[in-house]
């Protein structure tokens, strides 16, 4: 497995280049009124970035339902504001929304991707990606909290986890929250194969040509 990008920033504080992880983009449209309003609503009364990051994570994880059969081939459906309105999405879409919500309240956020072996893919979804278990560019978010990047994987909501007996990915704003390698029954689930470099915007063209 390829090494992960470093999660530490020299000097312990955001550098000027961190500004790119706060900006509004075409897909991570954090300045959209609905996104900013939701981010403020979810973090009202919370004091620290850590508390805010945790609140945003659990909203995206559990209130945005995992849906592998959502609109996947129209770039417009990857916009954070569209995902928020739809209330469902795949790993990439949910990670985009988490990044947008974080940026909307001033927490730097970027998209991470890793090729995975998902042993629990349904046969119908497996056929959609060529009949294999390998899913390229599985999406997650990285949030900059307390001077370091923290891995946050919000793909599977709690209802889906209970139904399929997946282990929920818990996030405390300190430790990396990564996909579980096994299910509740000890069966193989998600194996991380190779990480890609993080992105400040959704790499649509690169994913399509991969």
Say how many domains are in the chain.
1
Q: Note whether residue 2 is domain-resident.
A: no
Q: Note whether residue 11 is domain-resident.
A: no
Q: Note whether residue 180 is domain-resident.
A: yes
Question: What pLDDT, in 10s, does the model give residues 175-195?
Answer: 999 999 999 999 999 999 999
Q: Are residues 126 and 132 in contact, defined by beta-carbon separation less than 8 angstroms?
A: yes
User: Which is more confident, 151 or 136?
Assistant: 151
Q: At 178, give phi and psi (nearest 5°).
A: -110, 160
For residue 4, pLDDT over 70 is answered with no
Q: Note whether residue 10 is domain-resident.
A: no
Q: Are residues 66 and 157 in contact, defined by beta-carbon separation less than 8 angstroms?
A: yes
Q: Note whether residue 5 is domain-resident.
A: no
Helices 49-63 & 91-104 angle (0-180, nearest 10): 150
The most distant pair of C-alpha atoms in the chain lies apart, rounded to whole Å, by: 48
Query: What is the C-alpha separation between 188 and 134, in angstroms, rounded?
Result: 13
Residue 71: CATH number of its domain: 3.10.620.30
Question: What pLDDT, in 10s, does the model give residues 196-207?
Answer: 999 999 999 999
Nearest to 152 by CA among 161, 143, 144: 143
Q: What is the pTM of this model?
A: 0.91
Residue 183 corresponds to which tokens in the numbers above? 């299910």
For residue 131, pLDDT over 90 is answered with no
Residue 112, domain extent: 16-208
For residue 98, pLDDT over 90 is answered with yes
Q: Are residues 70 and 17 in contact, defined by beta-carbon separation less than 8 angstroms?
A: no
Q: Note whether residue 166 is domain-resident.
A: yes
Query: What is the C-alpha separation between 142 and 153, in angstroms, rounded?
Result: 9
């Amino acid at each position: 497995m390829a090494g992960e990008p470093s999660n530490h920033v020299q000097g312990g504080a955001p550098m000027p280049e961190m500004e790119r992880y706060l900006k509004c983009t075409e897909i991570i449209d954090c300045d959209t009124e609905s996104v900013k309003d939701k981010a403020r609503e979810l973090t009202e009364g919370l004091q620290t970035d850590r508390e805010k990051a945790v609140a945003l994570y659990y909203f995206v994880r559990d209130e945005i339902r995992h849906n592998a059969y959502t609109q996947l081939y129209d770039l417009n459906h990857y916009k954070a504001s569209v995902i928020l309105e739809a209330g469902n999405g795949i790993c990439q879409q949910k990670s985009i929304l988490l990044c947008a919500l974080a940026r909307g309240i001033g927490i730097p956020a970027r998209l991470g991707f890793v090729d995975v072996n998902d042993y629990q893919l349904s046969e119908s979804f497996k056929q959609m990606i060529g009949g294999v278990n390998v899913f390229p560019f599985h999406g997650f978010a990285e949030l900059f909290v307390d001077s370091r990047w923290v891995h946050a994987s919000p793909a599977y909501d709690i209802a889906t986890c209970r139904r399929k007996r997946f282990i929920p990915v818990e996030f405390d704003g300190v430790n990396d929250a990564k996909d579980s390698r096994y299910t509740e029954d000890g069966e193989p689930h998600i194996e991380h194969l190779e990480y890609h470099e993080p992105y400040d915007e959704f790499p649509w063209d690169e994913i399509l040509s991969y």
